[in-house]
Amino acid sequence: KSTAPVLILKKAAARKLLPVISEQDHKGSRGRSLILAGSAQFPGAAVLAAKAALRMGSGYVCVAQKNVSISSLENPDFLVADLNKTPWQEIQFNSVLVGPGFGINDFTASVIQQLKQAQVENVVLDADALRVCADEKLFPVPDQWILTPHAAEMGYCLGINSSDVNSDREASIREGHALMGGVVLLKGHRTLIFSGKDVYTNATGNSALAKSGTGDVLAGIITALRAQGLSALKAALLGAYVHGATANLWKAHKKDLISMTASDVIDYLPEVLFRIR
């Protein structure tokens, strides 16, 4: 086991990372997030990530899919684009999320390959994108890409099972980073973050987050922070902090931990951010 100290982001440090508010702000200056997520089978993942990105401050959010599965009319807060008509290269963005519910298929692989080839820096890979990278040997990714595996996804990439990952999470994230590159965020109780230098752990959050869709929300939050100019490491650290803090606030509001949903995480973000700032 490694004996190097594990660092923790505290509230005062989180405050310093929060996107600054100015009277001169306009939607263009708050960053454009492109969400390549969701599919006919999993339409909800994209909606959760997009709504989370908006609540995390992104000025524009666009969900783009190959066969559009969600209604723009029912989701007026963000744009919906059809990748059959508009390839991602024609969409303006400052950061891009690939993965949640997007499908484990050749199309997902080709998008990731194209993003690499085009040397796009601000990329967040989650869920299906991670499995595709493992299957198609697309690792390692560039230093400024962010990878957000849960224990099973990390295990899949490393060729081990999730209980092996969780039996020594620090060793696993170091191994994962050596294989995958980028900034790695290993989700779960005590999320770990590693960019090759120090290992950080996130002290916020609780088991209220053990509900499907909360990972998609985290991916959207981190993508919005990247779009607003935070480095990959800072976006991962602050993203994990505020995501977990919604669950702490849920508990503080005397709500039972079994009841929180992914949409509640999104709904609690504004108060979490207000309290940190």
Residues in 55-74 at the binding interface with ligand APR, rule: CB under 6 A: none
Nearer to ligand APR, 32 or 55 (CB): 55
Q: In angstroms, what is the minimal distance from the CB of 119 to Mg ion?
A: 27
Residue facing ligand APR at closest CB distance: 215
Which residue of the chain is nearest Mg ion when measured via CB?
A: 215
Site for ligand APR in 109-168 (CB under 6 A): 127, 150
Q: Is the separation of the CB atoms in 277 and 242 below 8 Å?
A: no
Q: Is 215 near Mg ion (CB under 5 A)?
A: yes
Q: What is the distance between the alpha carbons of residues 149 and 155, in angstroms, rounded to a whole number?
A: 9
CB of 162 to Mg ion, least distance (A): 13
Taking alpha carbons only, the member of 83, 20, 65, 72 closest to residue 225 is 20
Residue 103 binding ligand APR, by CB under 6 A: no
What does 212 bind: Mg ion, ligand APR, none (CB cut-off 5 to 8 Å by kind)? Answer: ligand APR
- Residue identified by tokens 């869920």 is 127
Number of alpha carbons in the 13 Å side-chain half-sphere of residue 30: 18
Give the range of 18-26, 49-57, 212-220, 228-236 binding Mg ion by CB under 5 A.
Answer: 212-220
Which one, of 98, 96, 97, 41, lies nearest residue 70 by Cα?
41
Binding mask 230-259 for ligand APR (x = CB under 6 A): -------------x----------------
Entry field: residues in the chain: 277
218 scored as a contact of ligand APR (CB under 6 A) = yes
Selection from 49, 219, 221 nearest residue 125 by Cα:
219
Q: Which of 44, 205, 220, 239 binds ligand APR (CB under 6 A)?
A: 205
Burial label, 49 (beta-carbon count in 10 A; 0-12, 13-18, 19+): buried
Tell me which residues touch ligand APR (CB under 6 A): 127, 150, 187-189, 191, 205-207, 209-210, 212-216, 218, 243
